Amino acid sequence: MIGHGFFGHDGFGFGALHGQFTIAAPSGGYETLDTQLGTVSAVSSSSITLKSADAFTATYSVDANTLVNAGRDGIANVKAGDTVHVVAIVSGGKASAVEIIDGTNVQNLRGRWAPGVPFPDAPGA
């Protein structure tokens, strides 16, 4: 969804650091999504915490249904200090990550075959 897909290169298409919005749910009705671009301050197999440039901090649950673009080992490749973009479904006050794009790892992996091509969501890109 993020990156070249649903929201464009920088989240909402205008450099958003974080936000919440409502979309039509795939199975009907509506769902609330959170999105955040920030630096990982904590990560485990069950959660990730980000801090955005404006100091906004949030924690998202991670499970087997979370798509993680960070390398072969998914969430295990995400480290504190990495720049990531998260999209999460919010329900009952809980934000469950549905997609995590680790810009740090994507950039490092991309640099092996396309040097100089920046990760679109990275600050300054």
User: What does the pLDDT average to over 20-37?
Assistant: 94
Using the predicted structure, report yes or no on whether residue 12 has a pLDDT greater than 80: no
User: What does the pLDDT average to over 24-52?
Assistant: 96
The tens digit of pLDDT for each residue in 57-70 reads: 999 999 999 999 88
Predicted confidence band of residue 115 (pLDDT cuts 50, 70, 90): low
Q: Which of 34-38, 69-73, 113-117 has the highest mean pLDDT?
A: 34-38
pLDDT at 59: 98
pLDDT at 11: 46
Question: From its phi and psi, is residue 7 left (phi > 0), alpha (psi between -120 and 50) or beta?
Answer: alpha
Residue 26 class from Cβ within 10 Å (0-12 exposed, 13-18 middle, 19+ buried)? exposed
Rounded to the nearest 10 degrees, how much is the dihedral formed by the CA atoms of 79, 80, 85, 90? Answer: 100
3-state DSSP percent of the chain in helix, strand and coil, to 5: 10, 40, 50
Q: Measuring CA to CA, how many Å separate 6 from each of 40, 41, 87, 92, 116?
A: 22, 26, 11, 24, 24
pLDDT at 15: 77
* Other CB atoms within 10 A of residue 85 CB: 26
pLDDT at 32: 96
Question: Residue 11 and residue 9: Cα distance in Å, rounded?
Answer: 6
User: What does the pLDDT average to over 15-33?
Assistant: 93
User: What does the pLDDT average to over 13-24?
Assistant: 85
Query: What is the domain partition of the chain in residue ranges?
Result: 18-110
Using the predicted structure, report yes or no on whether residue 98 has a pLDDT greater than 90: yes
Q: pTM of the prediction?
A: 0.79
Superfamily of domain 18-110: Copper binding periplasmic protein CusF (2.40.50.320)
